[in-house]
């Protein structure tokens, strides 16, 4: 193989590798859109709080309602902050299905209501 072909092949590989590298512009967050209002607490089945990680630099709050629909809440809302504070104060129970559990790395908190 000629030297020029090797050079073009090397450049093509470098371009592929550089575009495959994650960067700050392309975060891998769950929530692409957030709601700026919350539903009533009686309709909430599950709350998941995802802490910021290297893949997504923001806290994400995912609500599952009793119909099984999931959506994200804006963590900056005062009502959402109040709910998160209440969840964090809840006693942890040990049942067959945990009502309040934390992942092993501490990045996710799940609460089943």
Convert the chain into a string of H (helix), E (strand) and C (coil).
CCHHHHHHHHHHHHHHHHHHCCCCCCCCCCCCCCECCCCCHHHEEEEEEECCCCCCCCCEEEEEECCCCEEEECCCCHHHHHHHHHHHHCCCCCCCCCCEEECCCCCEEEEEC
41-112 CATH fold: OB fold (Dihydrolipoamide Acetyltransferase, E2P) (2.40.50)
* pLDDT by residue, tens only, the chain of 113 residues: 678 878 777 777 777 666 655 554 566 888 988 888 877 777 888 889 899 888 898 889 999 988 899 999 998 888 888 877 887 787 765 444 445 555 655 666 776 65
Question: What are the residue ranges spanned by the domains of the chain?
Answer: 41-112
């Amino acid at each position: 193989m000629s030297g020029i072909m090797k050079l073009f092949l090397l450049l093509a590989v470098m371009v592929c590798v550089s575009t495959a590298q994650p960067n700050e512009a392309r975060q891998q967050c769950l929530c692409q859109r957030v709601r700026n209002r919350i539903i009533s607490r009686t309709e909430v089945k599950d709350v998941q709080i995802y802490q910021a990680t290297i893949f997504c630099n923001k806290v994400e709050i995912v609500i599952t309602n009793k119909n099984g629909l999931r959506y994200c809440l804006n963590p900056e809302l005062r009502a959402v902050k109040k709910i998160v504070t209440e969840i964090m104060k809840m006693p942890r129970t040990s049942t067959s299905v945990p009502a309040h559990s934390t992942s092993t790395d501490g990045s996710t908190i799940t609460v089943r209501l």
